[in-house]
Amino acid sequence: MDEDTGYEAVRSRDARFDGAFFFAVETTGIYCRPSCPAVTPKRRNVRFFPTAAAAQGSGFRACRRCRPDAVPGSAEWNVRADVVGRAMRLIADGVVDREGVAGLAARLGYSARQVQRQLTTELGAGPVALARAQRAHTARLLLQTTDLPVTEIAFASGFASVRQFNDTVREVYASTPTELRAAAHRSRGTARTRGAGRATPGAGIPLRLAHRGPYQSGAVFDQLAREAVAGVEEVCGAPGGRTYRRTLRLPYGTGLVAVEERTRASRTGAGTRLGGWLDARLHLTDPRDLTTAVQRLRRLFDLDADPYAVDERLGADPRLGPLVAARPGLRSPGTVDPLEPAVRALAGKEGAEELVRRYGKLLDAPCGSLTHLFPEPAVLAEAEPGGPLGALAAALADGTVRLDPGADRDEAQEALLALPGMDPATVAAMRVRALGDPDVAPPGTEVPDGWRPWRSYAVQHLRVAGEWSR
């Protein structure tokens, strides 16, 4: 996108571009999302950035009105399979915070210098700056939604020191951590006078999982309900008001999450719909897992997709046009654990539930029907040696097969097909769910080239409409 087109998006407050780029105003020192409802600045005062980190690196602070750090992630990273796209998915998952730039580079198969150069050239910020921007967002969320001590929040957000935490928060938000928390308390006090109430202690971290454009939550919850593995996940309630609950195995501990089906809409002052969010509540045994947990939920619910681009392309197809018109914004769900869809594909839902009962880790504090974590690959490999399931678990455990967010999709497919018992249809399904590939055509079928690069969504439309049973 050229800058003149970007400015037109800003002038029209076009939420389709939230997360795709950011703009900053030189006269105020503030950066915003394109849909910011503030008065449109003059063109000569506006600068454009591909990431929030690039804007921060140029000395701009986040707008308090539109909260540009809370926008959906760029849909570009879902589509791109190059090193930059893979790096962005890994950074979002918290790899830089856990393993450093060297760990990120090792996962990508490049040197740290090459990764730094490619990210800086294309995005205006290197991996450290991109991770820093993400840490700042996590810090703001914890400050405004929990009563954790500020010192604990500093390290839970991924900062190496309290001083680094304080300096970053001041630079990004033009407020101290204490001032951010106090502003949130005042806001909650206003909400209480309107009858909204305040979360009780121990109720978890409330989240708004933002998405752009329309979102067909009913179809997503239908699929999650059909596939739910007892002990690990469940969908309860009546359609339209259901809740999806599940356990999470995370790098530092475990988690429990509840996500509400009903979507909430955001609007500008003029009443234009911007998209919206899903309400969620997250319980963590270790708050350092917040960033990773949120990103994995976003992948599960496909919240960073660009429904405008998908619907425009597929809606022009004679077969798909009526389906897209009936269900605009249909998503292609992913997963929080790449082993889960693979096990369901190989062992079936009942087989997966039996494996959970036998080998899943029992939660220290079960919550209703949520009692276990899904088994780890190493545990399954040892418990079920031989056979397709054992071979897959062993390959995931020793790194022969990688299905993490930064995996090379083509290499992962080749590695999966080399395993015993893996057929092309199963591997294609894993490429959609575990790797989040938006452009997978089921093997053995001919689909129009006009469905590219959204063939996964095209098949999803056909499945939801009952026109595709495979």
**What is residue 342's predicted lDDT score, i.e. its pLDDT?**
87
> What is the CATH T-level fold of the domain 3-70, as seen in this structure?
DNA Methylphosphotriester Repair Domain (3.40.10)
**What is residue 125's predicted lDDT score, i.e. its pLDDT?**
95
The region of weakest confidence among 174-178, 201-205, 360-364 is 201-205
Given a contact cutoff of 8 angstroms between Cβ atoms, the answer to whether 252 and 284 are in contact is no
Domain boundaries, the chain: 3-70, 76-189, 205-304, 339-435
Give yes or no for a cis peptide into 333 (omega within 30° of 0): no
Return mean pLDDT, the chain. 91
Region of 197 on the Ramachandran plot (φ > 0 left; ψ -120 to 50 alpha; else beta): left
How confident is residue 202, by pLDDT bands cut at 50, 70 and 90? low
Provide, for the chain, the percentages of residues in helix, strand and coil under a 3-state DSSP scheme, each rounded to the nearest 5. 50, 15, 35
Separation between Cα atoms, residue 70 and residue 81, nearest integer Å = 24
Residue with the two structure tokens 């026109």:
467
> What is the CATH T-level fold of the domain 205-304, as seen in this structure?
TATA-Binding Protein (3.30.310)
Tell me the pLDDT tens digit for each residue of 17-52.
998 899 999 999 999 999 999 999 999 999 999 999
For every residue of 280-333, DSSP letters joined together read EEEEESSGGGHHHHHHHHHHHTTTT--HHHHHHHHHTSTTTHHHHHHSTT----
Q: Tell me phi and psi for residue 302, to 5 degrees.
A: 55, 50
Burial of 218 (0-12, 13-18, 19+ CB in 10 A): middle
Average pLDDT over residues 71-88: 87
Beta bridge partners of 25: 30, 46
Given a contact cutoff of 8 angstroms between Cβ atoms, the answer to whether 118 and 83 are in contact is yes
Secondary structure tally for the chain: helices H, strands E: 20, 11
pTM for this one?
A: 0.90
User: Which whole-number Å values give the CA distances from 265 to 19, 208, 273, 275, 276, in the listed order?
Assistant: 17, 11, 7, 6, 4
Tell me the pLDDT tens digit for each residue of 415-428.
999 999 899 999 99
Does the structure show a pLDDT above 80 at 92? yes
Pairing between strand 30-32 and 61-62? parallel
Given a contact cutoff of 8 angstroms between Cβ atoms, the answer to whether 458 and 446 are in contact is no
Using CA atoms of 46, 50, 53, 57 in order, give the dihedral in degrees to the nearest 10: -50
For residue 220 the two structure tokens come to: 């997503």
Separation between Cα atoms, residue 115 and residue 145, nearest integer Å = 34
How confident is residue 191, by pLDDT bands cut at 50, 70 and 90? very low
Average pLDDT over residues 231-255: 97
How confident is residue 223, by pLDDT bands cut at 50, 70 and 90? very high
> What is the CATH T-level fold of the domain 339-435, as seen in this structure?
Endonuclease III; domain 1 (1.10.340)
Tell me the pLDDT tens digit for each residue of 120-176.
999 999 999 999 999 999 999 899 888 889 999 999 899 989 999 999 999 999 999
Domain made up of 76-189: CATH architecture? Orthogonal Bundle (1.10)
Does the structure show a pLDDT above 50 at 196? no
For residue 245 the two structure tokens come to: 């609950």
Q: Tell me phi and psi for residue 404, to 5 degrees.
A: -75, 170
**What is residue 186's predicted lDDT score, i.e. its pLDDT?**
78
User: Which whole-number Å values give the CA distances from 12 to 8, 55, 259, in the listed order?
Assistant: 6, 21, 32
Separation between Cα atoms, residue 432 and residue 280, nearest integer Å = 24
